[in-house]
Every structure is written in structure tokens, then in C-alpha cells.
Structure 1
Amino acid sequence: MTTTSVVSIVYVNDAPAAARFYGDLLGMNPSFETSGYITFDLGPGADLGLWSGQFEDLSPDVPRTSEVCVAIDGGPGELDAIFKQWQAKGVTILRAPQDVGFGPTFLAADPDGNRIRVAPGG
């Protein structure tokens, strides 16, 4: 199988609003935009896609079975700094930083209830 990239799709109610949220958190601009589908180029072979229109009126009460993981190169100090930045921005924090065996991590949610984990990179 030949692939050009892997796109992780996150279902959202409002793609432009979600793109502003993720763009602010990630410090980047979208690489592709339509009214209902927006992507971010995360590096060679990896994109984050935000798609609305397929699942209108998503409820934060709906259990999410996947999460976006932001893998960072820095150690616990960088993770704590990101945690504090996100708290200051009003991001919903689901689980404060803790060590879960592979290193420190914390869990947040986007405005649609999708989970975002920050963890050490590989």
C-alpha cells in the first residue's frame, strides 16, 4: 500500500471555530480549508483534519473512543508549562498532569468534547 499521508479526523460541530481553537493551541495555521473540512499539516505524512457536517450537534456527553495526542520533545517542565498555558486559555482539563508509566501526561478536551492528550514524544 502506498500512502502520501495519514489524516487523523476529529468530528466537530463548527470546523472554522475548531480550527481557531486547534490553531491557537498548536501555534499553526490550517494547510487546507473549506467551510466544513479543515486540515493542519503536522509534518511529513501526518495531518489533523477537522470535519463538520457529518455529525451535527455533537454532544460532549457522548463518550469519545479516541484522542488526539500532542507528543512533545521536552521533559516534565515543558509539559507543565503547556498545561499552565492551556489552563490560562480556558481549555477544559479532564485530567491534571500525572505519570502513567510512559512519562508525564495530561488530558484536555476541545469545545466538542474530543480528547487531547499531551505526552512525551517517542
Structure 2
Amino acid sequence: MKADYILLAVDNPAESANFYQLVFGATPLELSPGFALFEMNETTKLGLWARKNIEPKVIVDAGGSEIAISVEGRESVDSLHSEWIRKGVTILQEPVAMDFGYTFTGSDPDGHRLRVFTPDGI
């Protein structure tokens, strides 16, 4: 068994797909009024599912999830931070050293958190 899909409840899959296409530079594998699907890497896919269509119903009103994206080195963290600011991504946390490494956090249109980090020692 393996966990290879991340599914996020979103208000508008097309709007969220536009956001992730801009941020990740990826084209959706699938796009319909109720769902969008992206390939994140060889083993992981990101699904954006219309909140109103999910069964059983989603209890949390918005956001609540975090996608962690590992990169190599502080320079990569800083570079992505600058790029996301240029692209208009809402930044929730400026680059900072934390217990696990150097990181910053952005937000998608539904309040899901996107954490970019490099582990300590890299």
C-alpha cells in the first residue's frame, strides 16, 4: 500500500487549478468543473476536489491542510520565496530557521498552506 494522492477540498477547482499551474508550472492532467488533477512528481498526484461534491461532507470550512515541498539549500528556499511573491502568492511566513530547517509558508486561494523548506544540514 502507498499514499500517492493528496486531495484538497476547494471552493472552485478551476480557480485553484490556475493557482497551482502558476505556482508549480504544471498543466493539469484532468480538469472538470468538480475536479482538477496535477502530477507533482513520479509518485504523487494533487487532486483539487470541489468541496460541495465531496462525500462524506467536509467538516472544516476552509484550508486546514499543508503541502510540504523540500528543496536543496537555503538559496532555493529564498529563490522560491521571491518567485512566489512576484506571482502574487499570499505569504503567511517569511523565510525563517525552525527546528527542522529553513522554511517559508504560502497559501492557496482556499487557505491550504504550502511550506517550502530545506532540512537542517543541507
| TM-score above 0.5, yes or no | yes
Q: CA deviation at 1:32?
A: 1.7
- Pair 100,55 (structure 1): closer, same or farther in 2 beyond 3 Å: farther
Alpha-carbon separation, structure 1, partners of 2:86 and 2:21: 16
What residue is the counterpart of 1:35 in the other structure?
33
Worse-matched range after superposition: 47-56 or 76-85 = 47-56
- What is the number of equivalent residue pairs in this alignment? 115
Alpha-carbon separation, structure 2, partners of 1:105 and 1:63: 20
Q: CA deviation at 1:117?
A: 0.6
- Is the 8 Å Cα contact of residues 12 and 55 (structure 1) preserved in structure 2? no
Provide the aligned C-alpha RMSD in A: 2.4
- Pair 62,112 (structure 1): closer, same or farther in 2 beyond 3 Å: closer
Aligned to 1:106, the other structure's residue is in SS state strand
Counterpart residue type for residue 26 of structure 2: M
TM-score by length of 1: 0.82
Counterpart residue type for residue 99 of structure 2: G
Alpha-carbon separation, structure 1, partners of 2:63 and 2:97: 24
- Is the 8 Å Cα contact of residues 63 and 113 (structure 2) preserved in structure 1? no
1:3-39 deviation digits (Å, cap 9, x = unpaired):
5x61101111110110010011001111122211111
Q: Note the 1:1-122 alignment, pairs <5 A.
A: 1=1, 6-54=4-52, 62=62, 64=64, 66-72=65-71, 74-120=72-118
